[in-house]
Amino acid sequence: MKSDVLPASPLNKSARPRVIVFERSGRWAAALRRVLARELALRETRSLAECEAELREAPESFLVVELTATNLGGVLELLTCVGAEYRWARIAVVAERSVAAGELTACEWTMREAGAIHFVTSPRQAAELARLAERHAALVPRPKRSLAVQVWDSLPWPEAASS
């Protein structure tokens, strides 16, 4: 991943902040769904390219990125690019405890230095991630909107209201 893959984007006025989960298994996303506020959309991705596409669509999102022995370089590049290109995006890094107990334990502080705001090793800590994501979404500045747009955005079915 290079900086030209993640182009600089201004705050997307039409997309709401969302939680983007990049992982292979779906365990972290399932754990987050149980504790995440309903109004915060969760998107699952299985590749860094999918994760980047979701981020381009909603550049103020909260990303949860799984660290494995095989994607260490890609995650570091993503952290670096997101920190430089997406002012409002935040990333939490997750790793399985069995993986983190090995050589990746030393990587926690490298991930934090590269821009990760949190590092978690168990899906049982999903409530912490959800709290961070909800706080992040609440702090993202909202653009000025007309009354009609505010009404549409407050409807309980946002995907149907925007189409």
Domain positions in the chain: 18-137
Average of pLDDT values for 80-89? Answer: 92
CA–CA distance, 122 with 52 (Å, rounded to integer): 24
Alpha helices, H only, the chain: 27-35, 48-57, 72-85, 97-100, 107-114, 126-139, 147-154, 158-162
- Tokens representing residue 62 in the block: 């909260």
Residue 137 has pLDDT above 60, yes or no: yes
CA–CA distance, 127 with 31 (Å, rounded to integer): 8
The residues, ordered by sequence, that sit 6+ positions from 55 with a Cβ below 8 Å of its Cβ are 6, 20, 61, 63, 82, 86, 89
Q: What CATH number has the domain spanning 18-137?
A: 3.40.50.2300
Average of pLDDT values for 75-80? Answer: 94
User: Contact at 8 Å (CB) between 10 and 58?
Assistant: no
pLDDT in tens, 93-103: 999 876 656 66
The band of 156, judged by pLDDT with boundaries at 50, 70 and 90, is confident
Which one has a higher pLDDT value, 141 or 8? 141
Sign of CA dihedral 18, 65, 33, 118: negative
Residue 9 has pLDDT above 50, yes or no: no
The region of weakest confidence among 7-21, 50-64, 121-135 is: 7-21
pLDDT in tens, 24-77: 999 999 999 999 999 899 999 999 999 999 999 999 999 999 998 889 899 999
In terms of Cβ atoms closer than 10 Å to its own Cβ (0-12, 13-18, 19+), residue 91 is buried
Which one has a higher pLDDT value, 6 or 107? 107
Mean pLDDT of the chain: 85
Average of pLDDT values for 81-86? Answer: 92
The residues, ordered by sequence, that sit 6+ positions from 145 with a Cβ below 8 Å of its Cβ are 153
